Structure 1
Amino acid sequence: MTEFAGGLTCLWLGMVLAISFLEAPLKFRAPGVTVPIGLGIGRLVFRALNGAEVVLAVLVAAAIAVADVRWPVYLCSGITALVLIVQLAVVRPPLNRRSERVLAGEDAPRSRAHLAYIVLEVVKVLALLTLAGLLLAAAD
């Protein structure tokens, strides 16, 4: 079961890296993409990513619950889940409110919540990387 959880964790890590650190910043550099268009695309993409993350988090937790693992696996999975919960429940709502204002035509200032989301993404990537390593090492 640790192989399954490790594979799911690697999939989750790849999705976060591809979307948050590649797609998100690059879309605003594409010709013709305005801030409102980029925000509209970003909202759709991150809503889909976060939904997939919730499913992956549940699957990883279920696989870990039935596997024979040591406490660092529980710690890393807990940190990862906590970061995701904070992103979804605390940070995303102000980001959504700001993007709604921009999409409505308002010139809203840059949100500090955006920086918090990025910091949490970095923490989540480090936790996922560590979790994947622990799970795959336990599978040997």
Structure 2
Amino acid sequence: MVLAISFLEAPLKFRAPGVTLPLGLGIGRMVFRALNAVEAVLAVALGTAVTLASPPVPVIALTVAPVLLLTVQLAAVRPVLNRRSDRVLAGERLPRSRAHLYYVACELAKVGALLALGVTVLGSGA
């Protein structure tokens, strides 16, 4: 989901014919709100499964990493992006935002942590 939405849908929607900046921002806000809600539910499920399984320390660490990254995105980066998109939707012209880069960095790190978690779980038999 993260790969499809963050790295395919998000950049491509602004290249589609007829998609204006306000329309793209509105769509993006809805899509990322839904993605983050699903991620939060999956993070709780993953955390519960790991807690009940008593896995090795690397599995615990690689479970905590994407959950922490999601928490940073939801608590620190998304609010900044939401305030900025509110201003753009109100008609303000703003320079490019570094907050997007922080969000993308978190997404990349999250994908890496989830891949490492999958490899570690498969390799450990946990």
Q: Which TM class, normalised by the smaller chain length?
A: over 0.9
Kindly state the Cα deviation for residue 131 of structure 1 after the two structures are TM-superposed. Answer: 0.9
In 1, Cα distance between equivalents of 2:23 and 2:71: 27
Of residues 67, 80, 104 in structure 2, which corresponds to 1:118?
Answer: 104
**Aligned positions, number:** 126
Question: What is the aligned-residue identity percentage?
Answer: 62
Is the counterpart of residue 38 in structure 1 residue 24 in structure 2?
A: yes
The answer for the alignment partner of 2:41 in structure 1 is 55
Could you tell me the TM-score, scaled by structure 2's length?
0.95
The answer for the alignment partner of 1:135 in structure 2 is 121
Structure 1 unaligned blocks of 5 or more: 1-14
Structure 2 unaligned blocks of 5 or more: none
The answer for the alignment partner of 1:73 in structure 2 is 59
Of residues 95, 118, 122 in structure 2, which corresponds to 1:109?
Answer: 95
In 2, Cα distance between equivalents of 1:23 and 1:135: 29
Could you tell me the TM-score, scaled by structure 1's length?
0.86
Is the counterpart of residue 18 in structure 1 residue 4 in structure 2?
A: yes
Q: Summarize deviations over 1:19-61 as a string: whole Å, max 9, x none.
A: 0011101101100001111110000000000000000000001
Kindly state the Cα deviation for residue 67 of structure 1 after the two structures are TM-superposed. Answer: 1.1
SS in structure 2 opposite 1:33? Answer: coil
* Higher RCO (CA-CA < 8 Å; seq separation 6+): 1
In 1, Cα distance between equivalents of 2:75 and 2:61: 21
Amino acid at match of 2:56: R
Amino acid at match of 1:71: V
SS in structure 2 opposite 1:106? Answer: coil
The answer for the alignment partner of 1:27 in structure 2 is 13
